[in-house]
């Protein structure tokens, strides 16, 4: 797992918007598992998002990020904090109230082509 900074890397998630508290992952193995699970499509995730989103690359808070977009609204994001060329932290959010400001910003710009057209 050379893409993860080391044993001090962390990941935070709001549990796909289903949790009021943030979930914290603190080992490279758990972070990698969380990321594989997060990006694997499923019918339950499509129901939660209310459709099949497209995925775009962007910057969130100055970090590289992947945005899940459905009908011009952000339904999820994973931002990657980078240190020494590796991921030091991952910040994943899907709760609508956490994504409202990001969605407003998204709507003000012309989006680029999605890296994944439909999930």
Query: pLDDT of 68-97, one tens digit each?
Result: 999 899 998 999 988 888 888 888 888 888
Q: Are the C-beta atoms of 70 and 51 separated by less than 8 Å? A: yes
| Tokens 């030091």, residue located | 88
Q: Are the C-beta atoms of 53 and 76 separated by less than 8 Å? A: yes
Cβ neighbours of residue 59 under 8 Å, at least 6 residues apart?
65
DSSP state of 21: S
Query: pLDDT of 28-46, one tens digit each?
Result: 788 788 777 777 878 887 7
In the predicted structure, residue 100 carries a pLDDT above the cut 50: yes
The pTM of the full predicted model, rounded to 2 decimals, is 0.79
Tell me the average pLDDT of the chain: 83
């Amino acid at each position: 797992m050379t893409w993860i900074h080391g044993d001090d890397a962390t990941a935070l998630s709001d549990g796909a918007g289903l949790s009021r508290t943030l979930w914290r992952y603190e080992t490279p193995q758990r972070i990698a598992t969380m990321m594989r699970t997060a990006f694997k499509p499923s019918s339950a995730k499509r129901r939660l998002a209310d459709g099949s989103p497209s995925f775009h690359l962007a910057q969130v808070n100055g970090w590289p990020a992947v945005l899940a977009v459905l009908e011009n609204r952000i339904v999820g994001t994973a931002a990657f904090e980078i240190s020494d060329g590796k991921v030091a932290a991952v910040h994943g959010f899907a709760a609508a109230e956490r994504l409202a400001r990001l969605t407003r910003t998204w709507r003000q710009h012309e989006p680029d082509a999605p890296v994944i057209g439909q999930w």
